[in-house]
Structure 1
Amino acid sequence: MGLLKDSQRRTTSIQWPAEVDAHLDILVRLAADEGIPISRAQMLSALVANASLSGPTVAKIARRYLGQLKVGDLTRAAPDSDELPAVRHRGRQRAQPS
């Protein structure tokens, strides 16, 4: 059996808050800081593949996102970006949020 990361692909389109998108970039940079080069798509896949399959745990995460997280919460919790390595994104470059 091959690795999950190398299996058949499915293309998705995700629209989410710019702050969540920036948080994904931080996760990618944190992995890079630990010597693990990973793309944004691979990081999303890793997070989903490792997510809990416990209904109450999933509900708690959804409840927090839908009703508790405020604009700026992720940004305030993020490490100083100057302390993380720059990561070059492969593929098409995304437009910067305005």
Structure 2
Amino acid sequence: MTPQSSDSTGTPAPTRGRRRGRAAGPSIPLGSLTQREHRSEIQCQACGSSRVTRLSMNLTDGTPVEFTSCHRCEHRTWEHGGDALSVASVLDKARKN
């Protein structure tokens, strides 16, 4: 049995479920907008700025995509397997069935 904490009145504190860990995978270095030496070499396809945020995610249908958003011109792209996806395609894949 695991010991349970209690508050000052002796009432047991509610226990919280454990969060599931992420599946082990290759470690990808994170970039930084504020530390030049940690910035990635990714550039905006529209304006060429290197001030971008890039996220890897899975859409609702399980499609892995790379989302890139530019801080200068606000251009956004979604890519799957190196190919650009249209906004309509991303919305369709993200829709719950």
TM bracket (short chain): under 0.3
Higher strand proportion? 2
Q: TM-score, normalised by structure 2?
A: 0.22
More helix by share: 1
Larger of the two Rg values belongs to structure = 2
TM-score normalised per structure 1: 0.22
